[in-house]
Structure 1
């Protein structure tokens, strides 16, 4: 796996392949394992709970647990829909596919005991923020959050800020963590400040916060204006995606064309394989339309059932990168 390295003096963008990965318990409450999110409720991590209707905060001691539910923005704060499985006397777990979440993958969520008591996570956990207003029944308490990125030693994106040796604290904030001002603290090194994240394919905006002062990455030429009359730096995380056309082995030439190369009819010449044809291209996160050109004839992907009309009345095959 390659890593995308952002330098203060030069930006070197390397396309990466995320595949599947493990979060390795970056935050309490959930882990990401392969293509699944595993929610974990450990009774020993909680000492308080709030009665939903009265708002009374009570001790967890001697409380008899009948069931535990994962409740959050992703399931409209349902108190009974995502019921967890009991693993032992302390642990409850629930595994959900990443496909159950949208591309933003940033949510508030909590655990509900017996469909009526909100478990209150420790304020010491770095993944706790003040809850947004989610209606009268969900009170002003702390909530766990999930983000599109998390710190990981061998992650796929390395942010590097050279200099600023006299700074006391440097924080990385961006669209991948809802511009949180303290969550992703960078580590001080001999050259400056560094932080490695695991990030999903997508286009993200980011800035550095040096002792409270917000600044763009001054040597990243890829940037966009923000609402404050300044600029946010931009990083595009891509994933190698293999397009395969099975059959058509008698064809002389097959071209891959799509929204990702402005429907170029010559650029992506596919390689002939035993089973047919193949071409690998790095793609940003999101939806991409494509077709194959077989000896001059445009066709949709016969092995991909997902198709959409474009604005001109044509039908294209669809590839989603997440």
Structure 2
């Protein structure tokens, strides 16, 4: 059974004894996500050198029965898995690119996308289009991850990033919908409520780029004015009604990592997975780098099968998600 999952695993090579690698070989998952460091242990995880990474991505694609999404967070600045110390080309922080002229930013995006393509990576969870509403935001502006406060300027730079990735055959992904830039807390650690701080113009980049972006990543932020009970990633009102119906987005909708504290602290697993799919997410990320769940594929499979039997999910929903997922890969 195909599952709309992007999963993380430990290892810098293909180990056919690993159950997560076996899931790739069996065509049970949509993709994998790469990390440089294993957070719980502090050790190297999937990335050691350009040569090693090219071999890894090639081996993964060779063993998968259908084209595989190989994803990474390569924003630039503080969030990039490909580091100069390991032989890669780094990308400047979004905040730095947002303060300079357009030409160097465009060149940086082109280098970024070209490197990803050459390494066999076909999905980048970037660019960030969160507005720098709160300059002290601990997870966005405070880490230099926003292009700036002005929606038009953020949109212009994000458009260049999307175009660069498209030229090189890499799917880019806008994030973090509907906006994480006004938050005062980090959704990795727990519930993040933006009800009192969120601004309507945080939707402007998504509205302007809806027809150009192949994917949007939905955040685990609460906006009680949009949905009083659930964060965006679990909310049909935000993911379907706002993103798809109001803004007209037709590409792939991807959840932020479902093992982040904002989800695990309040919504039990695997119920949270079903809620995210019901909300309209096409793909769920389980990076296995915040919580180690080597049985994640089997666990989600059982939950999805039960939800299909109970009528909480439909086959048409899973098939539509698979179609939008396949569209992210040029060769698919």
Q: TM-score scaled by structure 2?
A: 0.24
Structure number with higher strand proportion: 1
Q: TM-score scaled by structure 1?
A: 0.25
Structure number with higher helix proportion: 2
Larger Cα-atom Rg = 1
State the structure with bigger RCO (CA 8 A, min sep 6), 1 or 2. Answer: 2
